[in-house]
Structure 1
Amino acid sequence: MTRILISEVGPRDGLQSIDRVMPLAAKQAWIAAEAAAGVREIEVGSLVPAALLPQMADTEALIALARTIPGLTVTVLVPNRRGAERAIRAGTHKLSMPFSMSETHSLKNVRKDHAAVLAEIAAVAALVADQPAETRPYFEVGLATAFGCTIEGPVSEDAVERLAVATLEAGAAEVGLSDTTGYADPAAVRRLVRRVRRAVGDDRLNTLHLHNTRGLGLANVVAGLEEGITTFDASLGGLGGCPWAPGASGNIVTEDLAFMLAAMGCDTGIDLPALLAVRSIVADALPGEPLYGFTPDAGLPLGFAA
């Protein structure tokens, strides 16, 4: 049975994309309940200035809570070395840094061109390398807008390959491909995964961050599975998108992804009824906020056994 990791990104990517701030207690309950349902990795927040994203102001408190949960990998998004320093002090297990393949999006998102982002990646990598081996976090860079950009349009696959190689040369442990704007299709996923893996090695690309903006999210997951991808980001209820990419709503729904993988015979370690029950925590904390997903509405098929 194929072992697949679902990395829950709702507490970060989901909540940063809505105006309201979810109460800390509700976020803590959400994270604890998903971990209890068998989710093994959760991106609990983003260490950016609170003035920019007040929704993320309590990330360090969430790291503290999440670190007490046995078996849970605690992930945090960091935009730069300063954010990485905060994450390391808080004790996060994994750092995720975005690197937009669209330079226009990069300038809008983090106010840095490609050369400046690569320098920042090198600075974070050096900081990580300086940490004691027993507490050193894993450092992954997500290649955002890898399939296209709502601001710039098509993104060159040549550029994605070149920048993936440059990212690893700067010191990141791994790269992931992110369909930040919902431009990907299954053929593009297969093509770009193969191309980047040929350039960097199969073991340096294991993660896809996919959106369902145009209804192709799960189809793109299947394409990734067929190419050997073993980690997929998803957001409970499909919350989120990218506040700096207009029209790029629609993370793939954690509940639908977990059901599809179980139906296909993949092992995620997730208890589906328990996962479906987590949705009420988010719904109660964010009344009126749209939540998506077919599996939560339809329920599990009669006789279904994961």
Structure 2
Amino acid sequence: METLETQETVTPDQEQQPSKSKIKLLYILIFLLILIIGGLLTFIYFVFAPLRHNEGGADAIEKYNNNAIVQEKEQELLNDPDSTDEVEAPQEQNSELKTYVNEKLGFSIDIPTTAVNPYGACKWVEDETKSSYRPKEAFTPVTTFEDNDSVYIAFEYSYELAGREEADGYSYFSKCEKKDNSLALLKSDNRTWHIVTQTVKNDAELTTFIKEQFGSSCNLGEKKLSAQAGVFDVAVKGDGLDMEFSNCVLNYMFVLKYSPEKQKVYTFDRGQSTAFFQLLDFSKSYDDVMEESFKIL
């Protein structure tokens, strides 16, 4: 008996059907991937957009946090006035000017009640090898010290370092001592703001006074009328020699005023730098105001 074999015939449409299904699936996967990426980008945009639009970005956030910490610290100090945390010293002290009048010597001048003294205090400085006291600026009372024919304007006191030791070429101090000022101390040193006066009747006597105060080779210079009626600002004429050969060294600021009517001459030197500072950073002083306030009575 013969066996009949049946052969199935595959049409072209049946061969293409699996390929179309794969392509359709691929399109679906690509579409889903686009949706995921789009959603992720949208999420990133809305999360980081506020930081981008906020000027300074991360710096602004850090500044905000720092300000919050500072405000919290200030509030703690207000709530706890006995806090031992170190607080920065005020940069300026409200020091009123007071008018000093000397009827005997015939002049007046405004002086501050307090000013910054570079040696107004001490501080203990820790060092890796050896610690030491060091000078510290502080507001100190300003006063006058009267002599026979002169007046000193100076700080009431200063602090001096003591207990000096030498180590590796450096000086170290184990003590810091308060030293009250006095007329004897001021007279032992060539001090600034030492107001000296003398009676003079003419230019010859004025020239003699100049030589005594400024040097033997100094002479009377030009006299200019000052802001005060009847009072002249007097210049001193040098000898023109170099400092090492001169007997009239004028390398500092000084004031010289003469009143022919009163027959009085006044002088004081301001030195080479400022003496009475108003601010702890030494950016503002009283010296100019003091000089401008000087009046012959």
The verdict on a shared fold, with TM-score over 0.5 as the criterion, is no
Report which of the two structures shows the higher radius of gyration computed on alpha carbons: 2
TM-score relative to the length of structure 2: 0.25
TM-score (norm 1): 0.24
| Greater percentage in strand | 2
